Chain A
Amino acid sequence: MSTAAPVYQKVVGAGFSWKGHGSLWLAEDHLLEVTSIVVFEQYRRFFYEEARAFVVQRTNVRLIWGWLLGGAGAAFTLVAGICLWVGLANGTEDWHVALYVPAVLFGMGALFFLTLLVINLSLGPSCRCHLLTSTGWKALSAPTRLGAAERAQARIVSVIQAAQELVPAPGAATAP
């Protein structure tokens, strides 16, 4: 039995979700979706000949993450600022130095969340890609950002269209 493994080419863009880290790979006759969780990889294959439609759906994931990260960053900044302000305002007291420790810790937390917020905003609008097969719509785990999704869509669509050149055209199906 032939065991030759297909050669895969990575499609631009990745995605993170509770399912793990997702990526798409192009083979000679199918699109492979790889979902990785630490030391496990799960595979889903979508054969070009069976693909019926490819859709990129705009989502509001970036907005939700923006509010969450921005809120956490603002809360940490506020707490760090209060600690710092109280410590400075009571500079003559012995205990004022103890307030600088939480100020630094909360400041580092705020920096962490605000860095994630900047990354989230700089990645662009969020989206979800779907592929329609004979068994219905399949949500893909990647890419999850619109810019990468548009580039991935252009590549995937061209590959699928090339593979389906032998499929009868829409008019041919009803021709007498």
Chain B
Amino acid sequence: MPTAAPVELGSLTCPACGTVLGPYGLDAAQEAVCPGCRAGLRGQVFRAWSAPQSDGLSTFERAMEGEAVCFFHPSNRAARPCDSCGRFLCSICDLPVGSRHLCPVCLSKGLGKEKLPELIPRRMLWSRTALWLGVLPLLLSIVIWPFLIVSGGAAVIIALAGWNRPGSLVRGRQRWAAVVGLLLGLLQLGIWTGVIFLIRYASSHSS
């Protein structure tokens, strides 16, 4: 069986300009200078750099009599179970997601409905949206007071609608922001109602 060729450390390139660094190009303790762009570099190379690389082709073996087989390919020997549903998988159906191994069905389910935290690429933060809608219009309320009914209503609706929606992956739901946004939204509605009341009151008494 052929082994992967070892990678020379000298083929490590500068992240800024792409110039090949020298054989001793990186040092965690001392700053090195890129020969191409003269950028100061300090770093560390890990074991994975010199580890044999996979050729990208999955290998599988035919199952013998009495052996566990893949759920999706009954003729293939099972390599491992799916970490989510437990189905046996051959090396073709084994889809690594970080340290987890999933079957194609679980991966597609996780992609579709954001069930797998490892696959979420972006999120809108509803609580922070409510907070911004609560704070910003108040700061500009002298200029845009007629629109406070819109921004205040939106802040209240978004704070309530996003109460149970998933929040930041790292900071959680931040419900305090939704509460502040909700209160400030109600304040905006109160201001708008008060101003309308004052205008009507003033116009009725002036006539």
- Residues of A with Cβ closer than 8 Å to B? 1-6, 8, 10, 23, 25, 28-30, 32, 34, 38-43, 45, 47, 49-59, 128, 130, 132, 134, 137, 139, 150, 153, 157, 160-161, 164, 167-170, 173-174
Residues of B within 8 Å of A30, CB to CB, are: 98, 118
Query: B120 within 8 Å of A by Cβ?
Result: yes
**A82 to B44 CA separation, bound complex (whole angstroms):** 54
**A32 to B4 CA separation, bound complex (whole angstroms):** 30
Query: B140 within 8 Å of A by Cβ?
Result: no
A42 touching B46, Cβ below 8 Å: no
Assess A5 versus B98: contact at CB under 8 Å? Given A42-B122, A130-B15, A173-B4: no
Query: B179 within 8 Å of A by Cβ?
Result: no
List residues 71-116 of chain B with CB under 8 A from any CB of chain A.
83-85, 98-99, 106, 109-110, 115-116
**A50 to B43 CA separation, bound complex (whole angstroms):** 16
Using C-beta atoms within 8 Å of the partner chain, give the interface range for chain B: 35 or more
**A5 to B117 CA separation, bound complex (whole angstroms):** 6
Nearest-neighbour CB distance to chain B for A174, whole angstroms, equals 5
Query: B28 within 8 Å of A by Cβ?
Result: yes
Mark interface residues in B119-145 (1 if CB within 8 Å of A CB, else 0). 011111100110010000000000000
Return 8 A-B CB contacts under 8 Å, by A number. A4-B117, A28-B99, A29-B99, A41-B123, A43-B121, A50-B48, A51-B46, A173-B51
The contact of A139 among B15, B28, B43, by CB within 8 Å, is B15
Which residue from chain B places its CB closest to the CB of A175 in the assembled complex?
Answer: B3
Q: Which 9 A-B pairs have the closest CB atoms?
A: A55-B43, A58-B40, A130-B15, A170-B50, A29-B99, A137-B15, A52-B49, A167-B47, A5-B117
Residues of A within 8 Å of B46, CB to CB, are: 51-54, 157, 160-161, 164, 167
Assess A43 versus B122: contact at CB under 8 Å? Given A1-B84, A137-B15: yes
Query: B13 within 8 Å of A by Cβ?
Result: yes
B98 touching A41, Cβ below 8 Å: no
B170 touching A10, Cβ below 8 Å: yes
Residues of A within 8 Å of B84, CB to CB, are: 1-2
Nearest-neighbour CB distance to chain A for B14, whole angstroms, equals 8
Assess A1 versus B109: contact at CB under 8 Å? Given A51-B46, A52-B49: yes
Residues of A within 8 Å of B124, CB to CB, are: 39-40
The contact of A168 among B43, B51, B170, by CB within 8 Å, is B51
**A113 to B19 CA separation, bound complex (whole angstroms):** 38
Residues of A within 8 Å of B12, CB to CB, are: 53, 132
The contact of A1 among B3, B115, B125, by CB within 8 Å, is B115
Which residue from chain B places its CB closest to the CB of A125 in the assembled complex?
Answer: B40
List residues 37-61 of chain B with CB under 8 A from any CB of chain A.
39-53
**A164 to B83 CA separation, bound complex (whole angstroms):** 21
B43 touching A51, Cβ below 8 Å: no
Residues of A within 8 Å of B128, CB to CB, are: 38-39
Central interface residue in A39, A40, A160, by most chain B CB within 10 Å = A39
Residues of A within 8 Å of B132, CB to CB, are: 38-39
**A128 to B46 CA separation, bound complex (whole angstroms):** 19
